[in-house]
Structures are given as C-alpha cells and as structure tokens.
Chain A
Amino acid sequence: MTAEPLLQIRELKTYFHTERGRVSPVDGVSLEVGKGEIVGIVGESGCGKSATAQSVLRLFDEKRLASYEGEIRYGERDLLRLTPKQMRSVRGNEISMIFQDPLSSLNPVHTIGDQIVETLRLHQSIGRREAAKKAVELLRLTGIPAPERRAREYPHQLSGGMRQRVMIAIALACQPQLLIADEPTTALDVTIQAQILELIQDLNRRLGMSVMLITHDLGVVAETCSRVVVMYLGQVVESGSVRDLFRKPLHPYTIGLMRSVPRLDGDRQRELPAVPGSVPPLHQIPSGCRFAPRCPYADDKCRSSQPELAALPGTDTQVRCWHAGRIAGWEAAQ
C-alpha cells in the first residue's frame, strides 16, 4: 500500500432486517482507498459491492431497514459514529456518489443548472449568481459542449452520456476528496463509456480525487484502476494491485470470473470455462468457505470452516482461501 489511506473500512457489516429475518449483504468487509487512488470493486450481482458503497455514505434507512457494525474511518472520523446531521455534511461535500442510472437520480422538473446550484448552495454559503456561474464551470469541466445552454435544459433533453456527465458535475460541485462511482457506465454504449472513463481518470489526475469504482466489468477495472477488490457473497475474497491480480489471480472465484469473460484475443473455438452453479441467495449462505460449493479446489476443510482474508507473504495481495498458497505455487509452476 503506497498511497496514504483516505478511507479505511474495517470489518464492516451491514444488516438488513427483512421479513425472512436478518441478512447481511455486507459481511465483514475490510478495504482501503488511498489518496488519489482509483480502486475498483468487482463482483457479480448480489456480491455486496453496491451495498458496501452505499454503506460508506450510510444511505440505507437506519430507522427501519438497516444497521451497521464495524468501522468506516475517513480521515480522523469514524463515519458510523457520526450523527445524521454530521453525516449530511459529509455526503456530497467530502464524499460524492454517482449511480448507474442518471435519469432516475436527476429531478425531471428542474433544469440541470438549478440542480447543480442547489448542491452548491446546500454545502457552501455562496450567492445564486455566483453559484450559477460555478455550475456552468462544472459542466464545462466535465466536457459538456455549450454548457451555458445546457444549464438551462432539463434532464430529458440530454442523452445518457450527457446525463452521466451532469451527475459527475453535481458530484464534483463541492470538490469531494472521494468519488464513489456505482456502475457509472453500465447503462452506456461502449463509445460513450470510453468517454466517461476517460473523464473520471482525467479528474482523478487533475484534481487528485480518489475514486471507488464499482463495476462488474473486468475490462473497465483493468483500464482505469490501480487496485482492485473482488467480492463474493458479501465478503472480500481477494484484493491487490490490478497488475498482480490480473497477471495471477489466486482466489478460485477470481480465476473463474476472469476466465468466463469472452476476450477479444481469446480462442473462439473453445468453450468458455464457466464456473458451475450460481450465486446463492443471502439467506442460504453455505457454511465454511462461501464459494466452496462451486469451487474446483474445495475439500472438507473448505466446506466446514471459513478462511480469513490473509496477506500473501511478500505481496500486496490478500486472499480468502485455504488453498491460496498452493494455487500460487501451482500457477507459478505452470
């Protein structure tokens, strides 16, 4: 870990109280985001990557639905110990978030400009006119052509890519140190995705803003992030530098995930090596290692006791697998 940590999540547990009892979509997650770093969080639907991100900002309804355990250290503070009022000043001001579907996060009856102004004036004591000027600047920063005109338009008048730029502009309004991007390009076409990823990387470099990028697309991680965290069923199963992890994935789940993606340089004649089965629901979590029922390496130990996330000696990589050492050796021997 080279960068100084900005966000440290330790043993975070998020509980949802449902009709079927208590489930924990986030179950003991520890991860760090360094200053100026882009960290990717990957996994399939239901792995808890979005729930982790939303827990950082405590977006779940704590009165009825959710409760948290553990620690989310941001600078000197533990976000889980803040009062609702203190938390409000963190959201959008110090940590911002953008979502997959910008249309449902934008208010359809207000202009783009007004929505940026609202964010600005909520967190900073500046006048209307100044805020309006700043809003246009922000739109310009995100590469929206003719920002003065666009500021007077409504969300439905913009394309998907433009709306995501607007969301980014709103997120940047108060110059947050951390941007949490939850599948920001999943709803977009590839050529537009390329533009948005380019923009996020550019803002990261220019403003030194840290980014937590949640995605299911390994290609996006490989091209934008410096570190990556792989999640399965609410837990981190592997984390490390993007270089190491893509060169030598160690957790059987990571290996399976990577091999199952068709690649542009892959052999088309071969069958895709698919991991068998599917992710079980949260109220049917297998005992022992959660991946064991689908894992080619699983033995009795895996089925009975759960491995911890452990650092692999001499590396940055952490793996939650009883056989990580062996797999590392096997892979090296090949």
Chain B
Amino acid sequence: MTIAKHQEVSAEPLLRVNGLKKHYTAAGKTGFRRSTVKAVDGVSFDLREGETYGLVGESGCGKSTLGKTILRLTEPTEGEAFYRGVDLFKQSRRSLQAYRRELQMVFQDPFSSLNPRQIVGQALEEPLVIHGIGGPKERTARAMDILRTVGLQQDHYYRLPHELSGGQRQRIGLARALILNPRIVICDEPVSALDVIIQSQMINLMRRLQTELKLTYLFIAHDIAVVRHISDRIGIMYLGRLVEEAPTDELFANPRHPYTQVLLSAVPVPNPEAAKRQRIVLEGDLPSPLDPPSGCAFHTRCPYATDRCAREVPIHREVSSGHMAACHLV
C-alpha cells in the first residue's frame, strides 16, 4: 500500500528555529566551581508545513532538550522560534498558552506522563479543560472520537493506564496530543520503547494521521532506520549542535559529515548476506558536555581530524542544494 504524501510542502516554514541555545549550570566536580552544560548550543532549522523532520543523535546530544525548549517546557537560554511569524520565546506565559494548542508533544514513556489513578477518558479530556474547549458532553464526545482515530475502542475510555499495553498507552499519548487539533506535533522517541511489531503499527498510524489531519512532525529518535522510514528531511545532532541536515534520500546516498557516516555504518542490518559492510567502529565515548572538546566537537573521535578541527568551530553551511554540513573537510 503506497501512501500518497498529501502536501505541497510550502516554501515558508511553519516553524523557524534560529540560534537556539539551552545552557544549564551545574555544580563543578568539586562542588564549588560552577560550570555550564551546553545541552543545545546554537541550533537553527526550519520545519515546513506538512513535512516530517527527523532529529537523530546519540543520548546526550541534546535532541530531547531541543524539542522541549521549542515548547518552552524548559526555558531557552538564547535564540528564537518563529511559529507563523511569532517568536514563541518572546510570548508571555498567557499568550503562549494559545500557541500550545497548535504545538503539541508526544513523549517516549506515556506511562510516566499518565496519572495512574485517572481513567483514560479523563486524561484525554484534560487538555480540553485546560484550554477551555467545549462543555463536559462535547469533551467526552471528542475523547471518544479521538480514541477511534488512534485505533482504540470506546471502552478504552474507562480503563486505567496500567490496564493498557505499551502500544495502547503510546496511542493514548498520541491521542492526547491530537485532541487539540495541533498543527505541529513534536514526538520525542515515540516508538523506541515498543517492540518491533507494535512499533510498526504505531509508525503506520502516525503516517496515516499525518496525511488525514495535515500534521507536521518533528520526530526525535535515535533509531536511524525508523527515522529514515518516516522523515522527509533529517538533521543529525552531536553534542548540542546540528552537524548535518539533508533530505532523507540525499542523506543516505551521500552522507557528508564523518559523524553521520559513522552513525549510518553502525546500524546493524538484518541481512546476513549483505556484503560485510565496512563498519567504522569509533574509538571512545561521547565526550562530556560539561567539558566539550574545542573546535569541532567531534574531532576527538573523528578518523579524519586535523589540527584545524581542534582549533576552529566549523560553520554549518550548505554543501549542495538543501544539504547542510558542519565540517572543515567537506
């Protein structure tokens, strides 16, 4: 079954993130000197209407922080986020509320975001209550409706979170975001806690709903095969920065940044007969974001690093049409 992609992706981005920084102050090693964790350190990208933008990186690269900061679930340190021409970071708490309806979030673990003593129906209606939408009857009707939309039955309305399977809970997480008719859904690892079969059901559902409800996704995940499957464009993050960005097929055909190359080659392929790929095995671990390397943050693990990489931060620039990379050697 081929899913026709609905959209003419428009040129003007729906969301434009510009120079976003999120720094945390942490106690230093001794407990006295304070130091700064640059969780997100100057990220810029566009989210175009109707597309899925995949954000990939290893744990600690700042991809989840980025997602949360856009919605101001945690306040940004610096930068701008224009949604339909309005800078979300400049809004007061109250006026932000109106935009929150249009930008929703789905989390990895819905079990921890659902109240264990609240039935599913209440959890689904809560966003409507918060935003003052409809009366009790109408809200219940919408909740029943959204349950069907995400492939559940009406009797799930009366269940408690612990009575649901992981896949069902994740559908509730999605339903709860969708009940407000958002335009953008930021999905933070929405399928990584699920078994492969449940995961594939969920991915299919998310794609179907994107077309039906004209959604724009920011899809944050570490599973590269999943991100490839669902995304139109992909951004790769390393230690708080975007190191590469390209349309999906272009990125896989032609990865330019050494980190992207390593990441793609590290994914185990379920085909034992594939000619043994040249797997680039990296030395060492992700450096601590408390003390990131100078210059290009990847230079300590990069097989091609030169002296320049240790000194100068590479600029994230266009290397071919729509393909950005931050590397001195590209």
Contact = CB atoms under 8 A, between A and B. Distances in A.
Interface of A: 44-45, 145, 159, 161-162, 189-195, 197-198, 216-224, 242-243, 246-247, 256-258, 260-266, 268-276, 278-279
Contact of B207 (A159, A266, A271, A278): A271
B196 A44 contact: yes
B196 A243 contact: no
Given A162-B285, A219-B268, A272 B200 contact: yes
A266 B264 CA distance: 15
A266 to B, nearest CB: 7
A277 to B, nearest CB: 9
A242 B272 contact: yes
Interface in B254-289: 262-264, 266-273, 279, 281-282, 284-286
B201 interface: yes
Given A262-B228, A269-B3, A190 B197 contact: no
Contact of A263 (B58, B197, B270): B270
A112 to B, nearest CB: 16
Interface string B276-308: 000101101110000000000000000000000
A222 B268 contact: yes
Interface stretch (B97-105, B121-129, B179-187, B219-227): B219-227
Contacts of B58: 189-192
B281 A198 contact: yes
Contacts of A269: 2-3
A271 to B, nearest CB: 5
B292 to A, nearest CB: 15
A221 B207 CA distance: 28
A222 B272 contact: yes
B226 A262 contact: yes
Contacts of A197: 268
A274 B224 contact: no
A162 B288 CA distance: 14
A275 B194 CA distance: 14
A175 B288 CA distance: 34
A243 B3 CA distance: 32
A316 to B, nearest CB: 14
B59 interface: yes
Interface in B199-216: 199-201, 203-204, 207
A242 B226 CA distance: 23
Contact of B270 (A159, A246, A273, A279): A246
A219 B3 contact: no
A190 B165 contact: no
A270 B281 CA distance: 32
Contact of B222 (A190, A243, A246): A190
B286 A220 contact: no
B271 A45 contact: no
Interface in B223-269: 224-226, 228-229, 248-249, 252, 262-264, 266-269
B155 interface: no
B190 to A, nearest CB: 14
B167 interface: yes
16 contacts: A44-B197, A191-B58, A193-B266, A193-B268, A216-B195, A219-B267, A257-B196, A257-B197, A260-B196, A263-B269, A264-B225, A269-B2, A270-B2, A270-B3, A272-B200, A278-B165
